[in-house]
Structure 1
């Protein structure tokens, strides 16, 4: 009898511990970020960069739609592989998510970046990071690197080169707010 009571007490303690942990996990997911940074769960760093026409484009804070920031360069082989998929996805989901390409111009050539955008017929804003400060602030190691940002301006995920089907899954989840 004492043995059964001891086992029951242990089971109840474990159940209580699991319940507390689940509650803490839910609190973390719903809590507002307290930091800005390029990592998931943080607000996307605010910045302004010129587009190909020289007009400033502002990023940071809440938006009407989720945002994908794609860092790339004209000499990048994987970027050349990825851009046709991004163009197709922009055509399909552009009314539900914003896609912005940021050329790492400090490590590229502006004229080559412009030629790349024209050659591929990029149908979303292309920003030029000539000084490299924005690219540097996002602290990525390879290109292409994309930051998926929700409507509240919070980075949800950081991804590199993906097949089109995976991109589509991530975009659908971003739109749904997951």
Structure 2
């Protein structure tokens, strides 16, 4: 899906709206995240349709995209009762009935597209504690997980990341980059404390998105000590997958 970031906006936006009709949940979610970053007003109606998706995580991502595009703040956390989630969905639909005149030009999905990945450039990440982490020539490999507290698939991956950090934290730096956090840094800190997440966290920003080309979550990259991305995964991955990648990286360094 990151191929869209290489296209002119006039081509990329219809491409992404088309992807909302894909049968693959991961593709729909990737498109929602890119439209969220682009703040594309012509996609509001198509994104609203995703609120009726049977996948709760997709509903959450649709609400996150709508918040980013419209500035409205109707949302419910993944852990909230179903009644609160449906209340937020109803609020979005009711809002659009009165606001649709402000969004006269709307695109509708017409096709399906696959997901692709891209490489990452040089970048410095600033953690919540103020630490600056350079991705080029780090002292040890870096595993970066791009995620959000509102993302169901991201939460499914957390136990694997926590276990990976516990086992290999001395050999690999694990970092979380959280995007579109509705409660900001304090909300992210509280969530991490509640879930026992002890590896550094970074607030995802537009500059991070532009530099790394990350427009969907969850994604995970493994960077070697030369600052080169050696592995890039979209969607949730288990502990064994990350362990195999680290083992291959270690063997290649010998």
Contact 2:125-2:202 at 8 Å conserved across structures:
no
**Aligned match for 1:77, one of 152, 155, 178:** 152
Residue of structure 2 aligned with 1:52, choices 86, 107, 128: 128
> Once the two structures are superposed, what CA deviation does each residue of 1:81-138 show, in whole Å capped at 9, x if it has no partner?
111111111111111111111111xx22213322221111112111123x43112321
Equivalent pair of 1:67/1:149 in contact (CA under 8 Å): yes
Q: Supply the distance in 1 between the matched residues of 2:224 and 2:189 (Cα, whole angstroms).
A: 28
Distance apart, 1:59 and its partner CA:
1.9
Which structure would you say has the larger RCO, counting Cα contacts within 8 Å and 6 or more residues apart?
Answer: 1
Which aligned pairs between 1:140-159 and structure 2 lie closer than 5 A?
A: 140-159=214-233
Number of aligned positions between the proteins: 134
1:158 is paired with a residue whose SS is strand
Structure 2 residues without counterparts, runs of 5 or longer: 1-116
Q: Structure 2: how far apart are the matches of 1:159 and 1:150?
A: 15
C-alpha contact (below 8 Å) 2:220/2:233 kept by paired residues: yes
Aligned match of 1:101 in 152, 168, 176?
176
Structure-1 separation of matches of 2:252 and 2:199: 22
Secondary structure at 1:101 match in 2: strand
SS at match of 1:177: helix
Question: Would you say the 8 A contact 1:70–1:145 is kept in 2?
Answer: yes
* TM superposition score normalised by structure 2: 0.48
C-alpha RMSD over aligned residues? 2.0
1:92 and 2:167 matched: yes
8 Å Cα contact 2:150/2:181 also seen in 1: yes
Q: Which runs of 4+ in 1 moved over 4 A?
A: none
Q: Distance in 2 between matches of 1:145 and 1:70?
A: 6
Contact 2:118 2:213 in 1 (8 A): no
SS at match of 1:153: coil
Aligned match of 1:125: 200
Moved more, 108-117 or 89-98: 108-117
Give TM-score, length-normalised by structure 1: 0.67
More strand by share: 1
Alignment of 1:3-42 (within 5 A): 39-40=118-119
Post-superposition shift, 1:140? 2.4
Structure 1 unaligned blocks of 5 or more: 1-37
8 Å contact from structure 1 (residues 74, 113) kept in 2: yes
Which of 112-121 and 68-77 deviates more? Answer: 112-121
Greater helix content: 2
- Offset of 1:173 from its aligned partner? 1.8
